[in-house]
Structure 1
Amino acid sequence: MWRELLHIGRHPDSRGYRRYAWTGADAECRAWFRAQAESRGLTYEVDRNGNQWAWLGDPSAGDAVVTGSHLDSVPDGGAFDGPLGVVSSFAALDELRARRVTPAKPLAIVNFGDEEGARFGLACVGSRLASGQLSLPQAHLLTDGDGVTLPRAMEAAGYDPDALGPDPERLARIGAFVELHVEQGRALDLSGDRVGIASAIWPHGRWRFDFRGEANHAGTTRLVDRHDPMLSYAETVLAARREAELAGAVATFGKISVEPNGVNAIPSLVRGWLDSRAEDQATLDTVVGGIEKAAREYADAHGIALDVVRESFTPVVEFDHALRDELARILGEDKDKDKDKDKDTDLKVPVLGTGAGHDAGILSGTVPTAMLFVRNPTGVSHSPAEFAAEDDCVAGVLALADVLEGLACA
């Protein structure tokens, strides 16, 4: 399965992946998912928001155990973020069949659409739509860099944009959702564990900073006569680093748009996107507030107009404690199954927080959700250098199979 996916959407120069929503690469990934489902005799369906589902058992029976992740990528992303969870889900099902396990509950594997938000600027579009966290009017306003709206992109890919919207009946079928993901950090590498359990997702969001100045000639305009928005933007980038470092959080300006974008022209507009995340809401508010305050001071000093728009936000997500503890019990028992003495195994599998957003976090307000992480030896993510060793990936598959067996056969 892994080899079949590796070439899809891979850029020949960067060697990273460009699997953007509702593009040709996305269509290839979706065709792969359907082929995997049908080759296993699973019931395949696509919901009203374009999310793909593969069912073992009767979906209408309810209390289903669902696993999966996403197949799209960030620009020049790595091979593991998302696809590892989907591939591992099919592999875990194969493992259950090899064990001759007969689930008492329906099982399903899902590929959520447009998780990364690389094309339309909003993460987790498929799961947000399904859970009602993204309204139809809001969805219709999402536009890519070429001016193509989300509905038109879906229509061009062969889907019905008029069907978009909340899907409470489908989500009501789910008793538990467990997402496996490559760790986007080095906690497991530092602890020496192959697999971990998520405790929570940090609150995080995206803010757009628009610095508006005055376009002019780069060679003839005196420095004192300039209203250069690039200066205010550059100073704000440095302020973001300082504010985040002081608070023990993270803040990143990773995307920028410049007008008129000429080498010999002073910009009239510099638009930068801030991504910031922190362990708690108060800290995040402090960081973003400090960055905006500094940006406005720099803008005033240079005669620049500034607009700040919060484009997306996700509050802290505490994963379902009962489900998280059940995962710890299942995996703890697995680690101790060959030991003679009885002991409390709840803490045998490391539990860690994450600053990265996931579909599991979006769904957590609607259904019980949990996450498993697979060790990433470098901690690098959203990069072609993203990596997980094969034996760690296999350990993740076996852990997921244990979890699915424990939840679906109870």
Structure 2
Amino acid sequence: MYIKSASMTKFGTSLKSAHELAYEAVVSALQKAEMKIKEIDLIVSGYIDFTRTGERNRHFSAMLSSMLKTNVPIICTPNACCSGGVALFTANKIGNNADRGIAVNDNVADKMVSEKNKCSDVNNILVVGAEKLTSTSNAAITDEILMGADMIWEQSEGLIFPAQNALLAQQHMLKYGTTQEDLALIALKNHNNANLNPNARFFEKKLNKDDFKSDAKNPMIASPLKLLDCSVNVDGAAAAILTNDKTDIEIIGSAFATDALPLFERESLTNFKATRIAAEKAYNEAGITSAEVNFAELHDAFTITELVSYEDLGFCAEGKGGEFIRSSAANLYGKLPINTSGGLKAKGHPLSATGVSQIVEIVEQFREEAGINNMRNIQNFSDNKMKYAIAQNIGGAGGSVTVHVLKNNKK
């Protein structure tokens, strides 16, 4: 399928509810596409259904129906932090199926013609993710988020998400010599990028190396991960309109893979198998290799997650993630800019909106709408250097992963 438009709200603290934030993002996406809601044939939402208090949470699809004045099917795809990516994957699969012609024999002309299959009434699909995380108590939100990990064997022993990712970091450091300073470089890079992104939580809030060295500003959370190694909960929404009508941006690879929930069932604690599987499938479907990717939006819920993803996605060899970030390759001025938006780390992580917001950043970069963060301005990127981008969205500690490859068809 193709991307018609993509839009998002500012990530941060908002007085609006989740469905109001979703409405804001959807209206903006429709306006950018110069479309009316009646032109949308299907909606796929990644909303996670937090707190389950009232109809706005339990029946989010009906709330969207009421606000958008539409009666089309609304499919929800809750999949922890990967909900937005799964929504995009689902929409793309449905849309591709609708566009696939069936060859039949024409008895009159004795030639082959193309006939739409039963899903042919689906041409434009709206994908939306939205979350409200700041108005509920930290304890309540933590309880809800922890449902994305094993609650019986691991959380009972204190192995919550920061601790899980700390184990990943410890193992990577032990096996490959990765350092705490390597992780700090990732955080600093993403904060520098978010500082230039008006939609980011840390817009115009630049940090420096001294902030990372300060125990007061950057206390230890779960060794070796410090506060600035962890992403922040925010309110926000993002929306994208997919279409079978050709546009300048095409989804040429889309994959979704899963893995065991508890870490003790994993084959390795230094990589995410689901990312590797999804990446291989997405690259094969797209007909490209990792070497052809020009920039990427990765799931950096923790800095170690981004570092490991460099390796899992084939941007560097296994165990070389530390060298990759030290080389400045992932910086805004590097050969493969990573998380130009600021990533989850500094743009913010409103869960189901995260995966969709990655698409927003890629679309804005391709269409030169990313403002002062635009890589064509920063690096004088040619069309060849703005051809392929990927978005990687992770649920839990690698239990579900989507990888999407987008192509810029602009000549």
The TM-score, its normalising length taken from structure 1, stands at 0.29
Task: Return the structure number with greater relative CO, CA threshold 8 A, min gap 6.
Answer: 2
Higher alpha-carbon Rg = 1
Normalized per residue, the structure richer in strand is 1
